Structure formats: C-alpha cells, structure tokens
Chains A and B, each alone.
Chain A
Amino acid sequence: MRASSFAQARVADVMHGPVVVCGPETPIQSVAQTMADEHVHAVVVTGIERTAWGVVTALDIAAAALTDATERVARDFAVAEPVTVSAEALLPEAARVLVEHQVNHLLVADADPDGRPTGVVSTTDVVRRFAASE
C-alpha cells in the first residue's frame, strides 16, 4: 500500500521501533553488541560533556574496531554535537539536513520540554518513506 505524499510526511511519521540510549561510560563493546542485536545504526549517548546528548553510529563502531578499543567507552566515540531535527519537520527538510551535513542520522530532540530525545531518524527512514510514497 502506498503511503501519503513524501513532501507532506513529517519526521514523526517515520520514527518507529526502539530507541537505544546509553550513558557516556558504557563500554563501546557493549554499545556495539546492543547495536547489532537491535539492528540499529545509531545509539544516543546522554551526558556528554558540555552538551546534553551525543550519538554513536555504526561508522564510529567500525572506527573503534580498527583500534584497541576494548577499554574505551561511548564517550570516546560519540559525536558530541549531533545534528538535530524537529519531529514536526517535513521529511524533505530532514533529507536536506542529512545531505547538507553529510550524516546518516539526525537526533530528534525538540519535543520534550526537558530536552530529552524523541528518537533518531536515519537516511534509511527517509529512503523507505520516499519509496513507499505516492
């Protein structure tokens, strides 16, 4: 079944599935394990110094795999100032931000008055909705 217009879809419409979150001192191998088990490509990291949130992506894990990372933690690999988007933003706007910043994931972080994240939207989410739209 075809979904409604891609141009009219919003970020909130494509957010689904679990959000994986971890603390900054979580061992990176533990993050990698959960990422693999949950089939997600980004884990939200809380409590990164100076900023409220960070994101560790599968690419960061791949980079960690190239080093002796057994003793390292999420904080060491998290992007401390992730690119964010509003859950109410239209998908074309999210796509533009993804392309402009050359990233695969955007932190959806503006819906909660306490600044807690709502979730993560990825290039895959955008592609999936684009493919299914009328």
Chain B
Amino acid sequence: MNKEPVIVVGYDGSPTSRAAVDHAARQAGRLGKVYVVHSYRPPADWLGVPNYQRVLDDHRARGMATLDALMMTDDPLLETNFETELLDSPAAEAITKVAETRGADEIVIGSRGHGRVRSALGSVSWEVLHRASVPVVVIPHVDDQQ
C-alpha cells in the first residue's frame, strides 16, 4: 500500500466475519490499523424504562463478550494495530459510521449468503455498499463446520 492502510471490518461472531477480520488484519499488516466493529440493535422504545435498560445492558454485555472472545485468540489480528468498537445501531450503519469517522481506506465484510452459489452481498453488505464512500471487500461465506 502507498500509505498505512486503515481498514474497518464488521464482526458478528460468525466464522465468515472471523475470516473477514483475519483478511483485514493481513491486509493492514504491522503498519496499518484495523477497526473491528460489532453492533447491536437498541431495544424497542415500547419496552418501557426498567425493561428497556435491562435489555440494553444485556445486548451491550453480549457485544462486549463477543469482542473480548475475538481478542483472546492467537491470530493475524495480533500482528497488527487494532481497536474494537461497539455501537448500538444496526450493523450497516455502525460499520459505515466508523469507516467515515476513522477515514477508512476500505471496508471488509463477510458474505451472509447461503447455498452452493451464494450472492456476494447479503443484506448488511448490500446496505454498507450503498452507504459507503470507499470500496467494500466481501469475503466469501465460511460454513460453520469449517
């Protein structure tokens, strides 16, 4: 790369998003920077004050656990500079928001398609593409068994 790459990658805990993180880390190398984004949808307003906060706390705790588990593994991510970001917004919105804020050169995201022949773009990556101002690298689907 001509400059130190800044890459934003979406991570939801799935094997495909794990492959996306690994890909982003390898692309960034030792000099680049990777922002791993995990998000959760905020609870519905109609839940009311006590329930809303309880559900929100639960979503946030699960999100933090997902990111903590990611950082405990021995993988390419540890060979680069990375930060995790946990946002309470829909995935596509979170990923593009971080990309914009961090001045990303590219976004990496996993495909969520199914079947032998899978679309390169699932619903999240499709929305990311329409929001993003930088190229989006779509990683092929990885089966859970792999």
Contact = CB atoms under 8 A, between A and B. Distances in A.
Interface of A: 12, 15-23, 25-26, 30-31, 33-34, 36-38, 43-44, 46-47, 87-88, 111-112, 114, 116-119
Contact of B121 (A21, A26, A88): A21
B119 to A, nearest CB: 4
B7 to A, nearest CB: 9
B69 interface: no
B54 interface: no
A12 B138 contact: no
A98 B105 CA distance: 32
B120 A22 contact: no
B119 A116 contact: yes
A30 B106 CA distance: 8
Interface of B: 1-2, 5, 23, 27, 105-106, 108, 111, 113, 115-121, 125-126, 129-130, 132-140
Given A21-B121, A23-B132, A87-B117, A116 B126 contact: yes
For chain B, what secondary structure do more than half of its interface residues adopt (helix, strand, loop), or is it mixed? loop
Given A43-B135, A116-B120, A118-B119, A38 B27 contact: yes
Given A25-B133, A37-B27, A46-B129, A18 B118 contact: no
A60 to B, nearest CB: 14
Contacts of A20: 135-138
A21 B135 contact: yes
Contacts, number: 89
Nearest to B23: A18
Q: Kindly name the residue among B5, B120, B132 whose own CB sees the greatest number of chain A CB atoms within 10 A.
A: B120
A112 B112 CA distance: 12
Contacts of A21: 120-121, 125, 129, 135-136, 138
Nearest to B3: A33
Contacts of B137: 18-20, 34, 38
A61 to B, nearest CB: 12
Enumerate the 5 nearest inter-chain pairs by beta-carbon distance, A residue then B residue, closest first.
Answer: A112-B119, A34-B135, A111-B117, A19-B120, A87-B117
B105 A33 contact: yes
A82 to B, nearest CB: 14
Most chain A CB atoms below 10 A, which of B113, B139, B140? B140
Given A18-B140, A21-B136, A30-B134, 14 more contacts: A12-B116, A18-B137, A20-B138, A21-B138, A22-B132, A22-B135, A25-B133, A30-B105, A30-B106, A38-B137, A43-B135, A116-B126, A117-B120, A119-B120
